[in-house]
Amino acid sequence: MHIAMIGTGYVGLVSGACFAEFGSTVTCVDRDAGKIERLRSGDIPIFEPGLDDLVARGVRSGRLRFTTDLPTAVSGADAVFLAVGTPSRRGDGHADLRFVEQAAIDVAKALSGYTVVVTKSTVPVGTGRRVAELIRDTNPEADVDVASNPEFLREGSAIGDFMRPDRVVIGCETARAQAVLRELYRPLFLMETPMVVTGLETAELTKYAANAFLATKITFINEIADLCDKLGADVQDIARGMGLDGRIGKKFLHAGPGYGGSCFPKDTLALARTAQDVGSPVRLVETVVQINDRRKGAMAGRIMAACGGSVRGKSIGVLGVAFKPNTDDMRDAPSLSIIPALQDAGATVKAFDPAAMHEAQSLLPDVEWCADPYAVAEGAHAVALVTEWNEFRGLDLERLGAPMRQRVFVDLRNVYRPEVVRAQGFAYTSIGRP
């Protein structure tokens, strides 16, 4: 089958490369000529484990191409995926659909023959109807169906999530469109992957509901962690006791500095705004958004408390700035709240991240960027572990502590066992553990 993927951001590039791996012929389209040239030369603009090899394999096979020529890519395609950005709109938190709407108009002008136009981007309920309307207005003769196929990709494990998904959600209204999408995902049938086929609105809302629920789980365990701090209980044992209940599950029950990234912050906010607009507010989700925003700033306070209540004139080392490991994504990362708060309180900050430092440099000014985690500790009054990269899980604690002015370790991800760190002479602070 022939696919046009409009947008070569995180979702478009991963999805396009994976569809090519499944055997489809995929043309990825982007207006940014420089980005297309980078991709043609094998230079992947995002950090995602395994993506460079997957793209290279697709290009070598001839099934994966990159272009700025949208009309040629769309003409003759069996399916056109809209995978452009939907950032939060300034001022009100709604998803900004300008890029989706413009892509729909551009695609409509180029359609030839029967085509399924699929929204892959995370979009508010009603967007599929709006896309269909724009296509009809732009090209009344187009033989087209509009569908929704939301993505459920986790940064850092996106390829596995696409190749071995828990489910595929398809929102469409004709048997013809459903047949095209089922054929695209036919390689997954061998693994008996569940296909959830719904209407447009249901598919669109399923994505928001799933992300909001996961964000709620994270926020819930963070609130329990704060309660553990007051009562002397251990949040990790509580999470295990809860997670072994099959009705709850163990995933997303890890206490920390709050959620970030490209999805949860904007999607929870967009869902809350949509619900308010139709007069059915989701108060639980609204509260989750508020708690998470406050939590990120509060983490700087934990570091200050570990330093005796003040960091003025002190050097603080930060391990990890990306919002999660195995990505260079800095969007809504807790570090973007923690580091400026420490600087405002008079601290100097040194930091290291295995992948995100290039992205972070323009976002976090006046930070000294280090070559490795041990350089972060040189002359530091405290080291804070903010992102749980694997290479931070087995640090040589004696080597880490030797050049520090004070052996203070603040573990915002509960990576280490308290007794192990304290045995190396550190004053150790974590989240929700006695």
* Domains of the chain: residue spans and CATH: 2-198 (3.40.50.720), 208-289 (1.10.1040.10), 295-429 (3.40.50.720)
Token pair for 136: 């009809």
Alpha-carbon dihedral sign for residues 423, 420, 323, 229: negative
Backbone angles phi, psi at 409, to 5 degrees: -125, 120
Contacts of 434 (CB under 8 A, 6+ apart): 228, 232, 233, 234
Specify the pLDDT at position 88: 81
390 token code pair: 């694997």
CA distance 30 to 42: 16
- Beta strands 367-369 and 348-352 are parallel
Picking from 351, 321, 349, the residue whose alpha carbon sits closest to that of residue 336 is 321
Q: What is the pLDDT of residue 254?
A: 97
Active site residues: 263
Whole-angstrom Cα Rg for the chain: 23
- Identify whether the C-beta of residue 58 lies closer than 8 Å to the C-beta of residue 21: yes
In 3D, which of 266, 333, 282 has the Cα closest to residue 93? 266
Tokens of 385: 């572990």
> Residue 87: what pLDDT?
84
pTM for this structure? 0.92
C-alpha to C-alpha distances, 69 to 4, 32, 51, 138, 287, nearest whole angstrom: 11, 11, 23, 19, 44
> 187 is written with which tokens?
């390689």
Q: Is 386 helix (H, G, I), strand (E, B) or coil?
A: coil
Q: Which residue has the tokens 């109807």?
A: 129
Q: Which amino acid is at 434?
A: P
Q: What residues have CB less than 8 Å from 221, skipping those under 6 apart?
A: 235, 238, 239, 252, 253, 254, 255
13-to-55, 283, 300, 346, 378 alpha-carbon distances in Å = 9, 35, 35, 42, 39
Local structure of residue 152 (DSSP, 8 states): -
**What is the spatial distance between Cα 313 and Cα 61, in angstroms, rounded to a whole number?**
57
The answer to whether the beta carbons of residues 118 and 149 sit under 8 Å apart is: yes
pLDDT at 105: 97
Give the span between the Cα atoms of 212 and 269, in whole angstroms. Answer: 9
8 and 39 Cβ atoms separated by less than 8 Å? yes
Give me the pLDDT at residue 297, please.
86
Q: Which of 37, 39, 105 is nearest to 70 (CA)?
A: 105
Question: How confident is the prediction along the chain (434 residues), in pLDDT tens digits per residue?
Answer: 999 999 999 999 999 999 999 999 999 999 999 999 999 999 999 999 999 999 999 999 999 999 999 999 999 899 999 999 888 877 677 888 999 999 999 999 999 999 999 999 889 999 999 999 999 999 999 999 999 999 999 999 999 999 999 999 999 999 999 999 999 999 998 889 999 999 999 999 999 999 999 999 999 999 999 999 999 999 999 999 999 999 999 999 999 999 999 889 999 999 999 999 999 999 999 999 999 999 998 999 999 999 999 999 999 999 999 999 999 999 999 999 999 999 999 999 999 999 999 999 999 999 999 999 999 999 999 999 999 999 999 999 999 999 999 999 999 999 999 999 999 999 999 999 98
